[in-house]
A = this chain, B = another copy of it.
Amino acid sequence: VEAGEEAAVHELADDLHEADLGALLVALDPDLRVPLIRLMGPAFDFAALTEMDDNIREEILAHFSPRTVAEGVRELESDDALTILEDFDAKEQAEILQALPPVDRAALRRCLDYPDNAAGRLMQTTVVTAPPFWTAGQAIDIMRETDEEDLPDSFFEIFIVDPAHRFLGNVFLDTLMRARSSALLEDIMERDRRRVVVTEDRGEVARIFQRYNLISVPVVDEAERLVGVITIDDIVDVIQEETDADLRALGGVSEEEELSDTVWWTARGRFLWLFVNLLTAFIASSVLGLFEEQMQKMVALAVLAPIVASQGGNAATQTMTVVVRALATRELSRANAWRVIRRELAVGIVNGLAFGLMTGIVSGYWFSLPGIGVVIALAMLINLAAGALGGILIPQTLAHFKIDPAVSSGAFVTTVTDVVGFFSFLGIATLWFKLG
């Protein structure tokens, strides 16, 4: 690219799949990305831009005029075009839309009006429709004669609509092929095909796809009119994003953080979670502060207290991890809540006994003081049971109040185990050794 060897670049990049071209651009020195795209000229597939972090895409797109972007966007499926349009502000969006053919413009403008998380943002608006009174043979013939431009790049089914474009049913291509030529579409169509409303949340759409193993789903508006289709390749990313969002939330990282973010932006994004944790750490330490006198008399207490707190925190995190995911996948609901609470508490007690025993023996030997072994064993049992209860009740309560349990459970749960851990260990020690 640096040498501007146009022919070599063409040869290398023209045959690449859009995903590979996208990956190539990302791997490239940032300063060479735009020149490469310019060198490729009209051969550059704008779909490659949908295969990278938002930051990098925005950075690249900033170098091109609305007219060039419009040229590129024109060739794309409407869902990919939307991804690119979303990167521009309202004024630039208008300029790009202006440079598009009126039909595309209207469809894209309508999509941009849907909320960010709506099904309408994921759908493709070009669909193949037919009236119910056509025969299978007619449908195939008409498709053969239709201009390539007016058909989607690929499709798996045709949708049967009435004159008002209301959705009646669908016919998969394999059904269409197997049917007699003279069969009426209304006789072979699937009438009770699952559909989604255009304003449905994308997470909900993803769950429908997963639950019913769908490949595509028609999208209708409030009046049951067909407005588009969502195919599973667009949903796969949503499914992964939802799980990934839970994973990141549990790790205290924002859903939006990307590997290409700047240091400053990343640090800012992580600050809030660390700040909340600092507050909870001070709460936990203030419990330690209550027992200053006892720790001064018996410094072994200061050495061992963190073990009780940390073991409780880890057990609680295990429970919380399972519970947060079970809530997200709807595996855990009111129907089985009690059963799961009882189970987690029992698991906490079983492991509390096991680890209480081990920790007690080791600690008793370490400080040559059997009493401290008994004290830490009891505290460990109490804290693991408390951790189990906290690990399940806190996410459930948050979910009940419509707060995302993945984002907010962690801080509460570890506060519980730190406070209960320190308090039970030092409290029991005070009583046992009469340190009060």
A interface residue numbers (CB < 8 A to B): 17, 19, 27, 140, 143-144, 146, 148, 151, 154-156, 172-174, 176-180, 209-215, 231-233, 235-237, 239-240, 243-244, 246-248, 250-253, 257, 259, 263-264, 266-267, 270-271, 273-275, 277-278, 281-282, 284-285, 288-289, 292, 295-296, 299-300, 302-307, 309-311, 314-315, 317-318, 320-322, 325-326, 331-332, 335-336, 340, 343, 346-347, 350-351, 354-355, 358-359, 362, 414, 418
Q: B271, A354: Cβ atoms under 8 Å?
A: yes
Query: Assuming A267-B351, A277-B310, what are 9 further A-B pairs, CB within 8 angstroms?
Result: A213-B236, A215-B231, A232-B233, A244-B325, A251-B317, A278-B307, A285-B304, A285-B306, A285-B307
Q: How far is the CA of A266 from the CA of B270 in the complex (A)?
A: 33
Pick the residue among B19, B253, B263, B300 that contacts A213 (CB under 8 A): B19
Per assembly, the copies of the chain total 2
Residues of B within 8 A of A285 (CB): 303-304, 306-307
Q: A303, B321: Cβ atoms under 8 Å?
A: no
Q: B144, A351: Cβ atoms under 8 Å?
A: no
With A174-B154, A292-B303, A302-B299 as known contacts, state yes or no: A270 contacts B315, CB within 8 Å: yes
Residues of B within 8 A of A215 (CB): 156, 215, 231-233
Q: How far is the CA of A351 from the CA of B120 in the complex (A)?
A: 39
Secondary structure of the A contact surface, majority rule: helix
Pick the residue among B155, B239, B247, B304 that contacts A246 (CB under 8 A): B247
What are the 10 closest A-B residue pairs judged by CB atoms, nearest first?
A251-B321, A302-B302, A173-B173, A213-B233, A247-B247, A267-B350, A243-B243, A263-B346, A281-B307, A288-B303
Q: A303, B289: Cβ atoms under 8 Å?
A: yes
Nearest CB on B from A176, distance (A)? 8
Q: How far is the CA of A140 from the CA of B271 in the complex (A)?
A: 61
Q: How far is the CA of A346 from the CA of B267 in the complex (A)?
A: 9
Q: How far is the CA of A19 from the CA of B210 in the complex (A)?
A: 10
Residues of B within 8 A of A346 (CB): 263, 267
Pick the residue among B140, B211, B266, B359 that contacts A347 (CB under 8 A): B266
Pick the residue among B173, B251, B362 that contacts A320 (CB under 8 A): B251
Residues of B within 8 A of A252 (CB): 314, 317-318, 321
Residues of B within 8 A of A306 (CB): 281, 284-285, 288, 305-306, 309, 418
Q: How far is the CA of A19 from the CA of B180 in the complex (A)?
A: 31
Q: How far is the CA of A215 from the CA of B336 in the complex (A)?
A: 35
Residues of B within 8 A of A299 (CB): 292, 295-296, 302
Residues of B within 8 A of A247 (CB): 243, 246-247, 250, 321, 325
Pick the residue among B237, B266, B278, B347 that contacts A355 (CB under 8 A): B278
Q: How far is the CA of A277 from the CA of B354 in the complex (A)?
A: 14
Closest to A22 in B: B211
Q: A351, B274: Cβ atoms under 8 Å?
A: yes
Q: How far is the CA of A336 from the CA of B362 in the complex (A)?
A: 45
Q: How far is the CA of A143 from the CA of B140 in the complex (A)?
A: 14
Q: How far is the CA of A174 from the CA of B335 in the complex (A)?
A: 45
Residues of B within 8 A of A302 (CB): 288, 292, 295, 299, 302
Sample of 11 A–B contacts (CB below 8 Å): A19-B212, A148-B178, A156-B174, A173-B174, A247-B325, A250-B321, A259-B340, A263-B347, A284-B310, A292-B303, A295-B302
Q: B239, A347: Cβ atoms under 8 Å?
A: no
Closest to A172 in B: B154
Q: B318, A273: Cβ atoms under 8 Å?
A: yes
Nearest CB on B from A354, distance (A)? 7
Residues of B within 8 A of A305 (CB): 306
Q: A178, B143: Cβ atoms under 8 Å?
A: yes
Closest to A15 in B: B192
With A259-B336, A273-B314, A299-B302 as known contacts, state yes or no: A343 contacts B266, CB within 8 Å: yes
Q: How far is the CA of A211 from the CA of B317 in the complex (A)?
A: 32
Residues of B within 8 A of A180 (CB): 144
Residues of B within 8 A of A263 (CB): 343, 346-347, 350
Pick the residue among B156, B336, B362 that contacts A156 (CB under 8 A): B156
